[in-house]
Structure 1
Amino acid sequence: MKKTIKTLVALGLCGVMNMAHAENFTIGTGSQSGTYYPYGGLLAKLWSENLPDFNMRVEVTAASVENTIKVVQDKQLVGFAMGDVVIQAQNGEKPFPRKLDVAVLTALYPNVVQFVVPADSDIHTLADLKGKKVSLGAPGSGTRVSARSILAALGVDESSMTVQSLNFSATTEALANGQIDAGVFVGSSGLGAITELALTRDIRILNFTDQDMATISKSLPAYQSVTIQPGVYNGVGEFTAPAVWNVLVVNQRMDDKLAYDMTKVIFENSKALNNALSVAKFTTVENMNQLSQVPLHPGSKKYFQEQLQHNE
C-alpha cells in the first residue's frame, strides 16, 4: 500500500513538473463581441492540444494596434490584426512611432468596413456624417485606424463630426439607444455585434459606389471592394464596402520551427476550424500570402512553399 502511494505521489510530482516545463503563451484577440475572440479561442485550443509543452491563453484587447505592439514587445506570441495596420507598423506610419519588426504567420479572412446607421437615418454617404455623432471604434483598435483611413481617403474631415471612441459592444448599445447617429464595425460579414443589433433594431449599412471604391483603392492599396448579399443581417439589403485581410501578426524574431509548427497545426485542422467558424473557410494555404506587402515569417513561408510544391 505504502509503495502504491509513493508511486502515485511520484507520478503526481512528475505531472506537476511536466506542467511546469510547459511554456505559456498569449494570443491577442479583440472585443468578445467580435470575430477575433472566438477565432483566437479555437486556435489557442488547437495549438495547446497539438504542440508539445505548449499552453496558450486568449487575451481580450483593443485589437489590431495593441496586438501588433505587444507582439513586437514579446508580450504576446501572436495577435490578430488587420492588414493595413500591420503595413503601417512595418512602415513606421501613424499610429506607430517607428518601424516595427513584424511578420505574418498567415492571412485569415477579409474584414469588411461597415458603417451602420438606423434604417430611417438621413445618412446615406460618408459625406452625410458631417455634424453627426459617430463611433469610430475603440482607441488602439484596427476599426479606428480603418475608419479614419477610409474617411480621409474620401475627403471627409473627422473634425466635422462628434467622434465617439467606443468598442463594438458600446457602439451597438449607443446605436440601439439613439445616443449616436452612426457606428463603424470592421469585421467579417455576418459580424456578431451587427447581427445582434439587427435582431432588435431596424438598421442600414452604408453602400460605397464604384467611384468611392476606386478612390479608396488608389489611396489604400490594401483594400478591395466586396459586395455583401441581402439577408446576411436581418432586414439589411445588399451593400458594397471596402475590405482588408486579417492576419496573424508575429515578431520577426519568432523561432522558425515554432512558426512552422503553428502554421502546420492550423491547416491540418482546417476542417475543425470550418465547422466552428464560418469565416475560417477563407483560411486556406492558397490565401496565406494575401497580405503580400508584409512578408510571411520564414517558418510559415517554408510551410507555404512545401504545400505549393506538393500541389503542383
Structure 2
Amino acid sequence: MLRRQFLSGLALAPLAAGALGSGLAAGWPAARAQDSPIFFRIGTGSTAGTYFPVGGLIASAISHPPGSRPCDSGGSCGVPGLIAVVQSTEGSVYNVQAVAKGQLESALSQADVAYWAYHGEGPFAEQPPLSNLRAIANLYPESVQLVASVASGVRSVADLADKRVSIDLDGSGTQIDAKLILKAWGLTPEDLDVRTVSANEAVEQLREGELDAFFYVAGTPTTAIEALARDTSIRLVPIDGEPAERLLEDYPFFARGFIAAGLYRSVPSTVTLSVGAQWICSAEIDEALIYEVTTALWHENTRRLLDAGHQKGRLIAYGTALNSLGIPLHRGALRYYRERRVIVPDVLEPPTP
C-alpha cells in the first residue's frame, strides 16, 4: 500500500524507496475519493543525463495537486489529485527491476533493456522474465555517446584497448550497450582499464585527466557533456562501419543515428547508434489511473511544456508514441490509444489476465 507524504518532501530527489502515495494498485477511483494527494513516482537516471529533466517535465504534465486551478483556467491539466515526483536512479536496468517489484510506479527505460527484461533474455537470461512490465509510450531516441579526451588519442572504438574507460554503473542500460559495442569490435571489458562510475563521476574524472573516455546513452545534448566540452577538449568517437552494421542486424532495438555538429563546443557531427527512451509502468497499476496519466501526457497543453522544457522534449510526439515498443502496452494506455483510433500492433496487446 502507498503511504501519505508531507508536501515538503516533493522538493527532494531522489526520494526514499518507500515514498509512495496510496491506492494506486488497489483502485485509483477509490483512492481519489479520499480527497488527499496521491503520489506517483517516475524513476529516471543520473542527474547528469536526460532522463532526469525529461522525467521532471512529464511529472509536471501529469500532476494536478488538490487545490490547483482548473486546467481551463490556466492551471495544470494533469490528473486531478495526483502529484508525480521524479526519482534519480542508477538507470534503465535498475528501473525495470524496481517497477516489476512495485518499488516504483513508473520509470523511463531504454527500449532494449525493457525488451530483454520482459522476455528474460540477454543480460536478464538468468532470472525469471519481468512479465508484468507494461509500456505507456515511446518518448524519444537516445544516442550512444562515446566521449574521449583529445589528449587520449582515442579516435575509434578499437583505440579503447588498454585505455581508462568508464562503461557506466552496474545496473545501467549504458553498460549493457557498451559491452555489446566492445564485443562488436572484438574487445571485452578485460581489454580495457575499465571503470564503472556514474556519468557525473566520469565527466569529472575525464576533466581531471583521470579517465580517457566514457560511454553514455542519453538524449542529446546532455547537460554534463555540454559543460565538459566548454572547458575540456573532447571528441565524440564514431560508432559506424561494419561492426555497427552487424549490431543493427543482430539487435533490432538499435537504430542509426548521428549527433549534430555544434551540440557540444568544437565537436563535429558524429555517426552513432541510438535506442528509444520509453515510459514504462507495472501491469498492477490501476487501469483508470494509467488511462488518465496517458491522457495528460498527450493533452494539448503538455505540448507547450515539452517544447519549452528540454530539447528532447520537442521529440516526444503522439505520432511516434508506439514506435519501437518491445513490451505490451498497459491496459489503461491501450484504452486511450484505441479510443483515438490508433492502430495498435498485436504484439503490443497485453496478455489476458
8 Å Cα contact 1:112/1:244 also seen in 2: yes
8 Å Cα contact 1:154/1:215 also seen in 2: no
Q: Which moved more, 1:225-234 or 1:301-310?
A: 301-310
Q: Which whole-Å CA distance do the structure 2 matches of 1:40 and 1:309 have between them? A: 25
Give the alignment's TM-score, normalised by structure 2.
Answer: 0.79
8 Å Cα contact 2:61/2:305 also seen in 1: no
Shift of the 179–74 alpha-carbon distance from structure 1 to 2, 3 Å rule, reads same
Letter in 2 for 1:191: T
String of CA shifts for 1:184-214, please: whole Å, max 9, x gaps.
Answer: 1110121111111000001000112342331
String of CA shifts for 1:147-177, please: whole Å, max 9, x gaps.
Answer: 1122223332221111111111100001111
Residue matched to 2:340:
307
Mark the structure with the bigger radius of gyration.
Answer: 1
Letter in 2 for 1:77: E
Structure 2 residue matching 1:56: 3-state secondary structure = strand
User: Which residue of 155, 158, 176 maps to 1:127?
Assistant: 158
Percent identical among aligned pairs is: 28
Residue matched to 1:291:
324
Letter in 2 for 1:99: P
Residue matched to 1:219:
250
Letter in 2 for 1:27: I
Give the alignment's TM-score, normalised by structure 1.
Answer: 0.89
Residue matched to 1:10:
none
Residue matched to 1:53:
81
Measure how far apart 1:301 and its partner are.
Answer: 2.1
Q: Which whole-Å CA distance do the structure 1 matches of 2:50 and 2:218 have between them? A: 7
Q: Which whole-Å CA distance do the structure 1 matches of 2:171 and 2:52 have between them? A: 16
Residue matched to 1:83:
111
Residue matched to 1:71:
99
Q: Which moved more, 1:276-285 or 1:207-216?
A: 207-216
8 Å Cα contact 1:288/1:304 also seen in 2: no
Q: Which whole-Å CA distance do the structure 2 matches of 1:174 and 1:224 have between them? A: 30
8 Å Cα contact 2:179/2:188 also seen in 1: no
Residue 44 in 1 paired to residue 59 in 2? yes
User: Which residue of 191, 207, 220 maps to 2:222?
Assistant: 191
Residue matched to 1:259:
290
Residue 31 in 1 paired to residue 46 in 2? yes
String of CA shifts for 1:49-105, please: whole Å, max 9, x gaps.
Answer: 221222222111101111111111111110011111101101113543220021111
User: Which residue of 23, 30, 37 maps to 1:22?
Assistant: 37
Q: Which whole-Å CA distance do the structure 1 matches of 2:275 and 2:342 have between them? A: 28
Measure how far apart 1:19 and its partner are.
Answer: 8.3
Structure 2 residue matching 1:290: 3-state secondary structure = coil
8 Å Cα contact 1:104/1:248 also seen in 2: yes
Residue 281 in 1 paired to residue 314 in 2? yes
8 Å Cα contact 2:221/2:311 also seen in 1: no
Q: Which whole-Å CA distance do the structure 1 matches of 2:85 and 2:325 have between them? A: 29
Residue matched to 1:62:
90
Measure how far apart 1:218 and its partner are.
Answer: 1.4
Q: Which whole-Å CA distance do the structure 2 matches of 1:209 and 1:144 have between them? A: 19
Letter in 1 for 2:44: T
> How many residues are paired up?
294
What is the root-mean-square deviation of aligned Cα atoms in Å? 1.9
Gaps of 5+ in 2: 1-31, 65-77, 344-353
Q: Which whole-Å CA distance do the structure 2 matches of 1:19 and 1:63 have between them? A: 34
Larger relative helix fraction:
1
Structure 2 residue matching 1:86: 3-state secondary structure = helix
Letter in 2 for 1:263: T
Residue matched to 1:98:
128
Measure how far apart 1:305 and its partner are.
Answer: 3.0
8 Å Cα contact 1:117/1:203 also seen in 2: yes
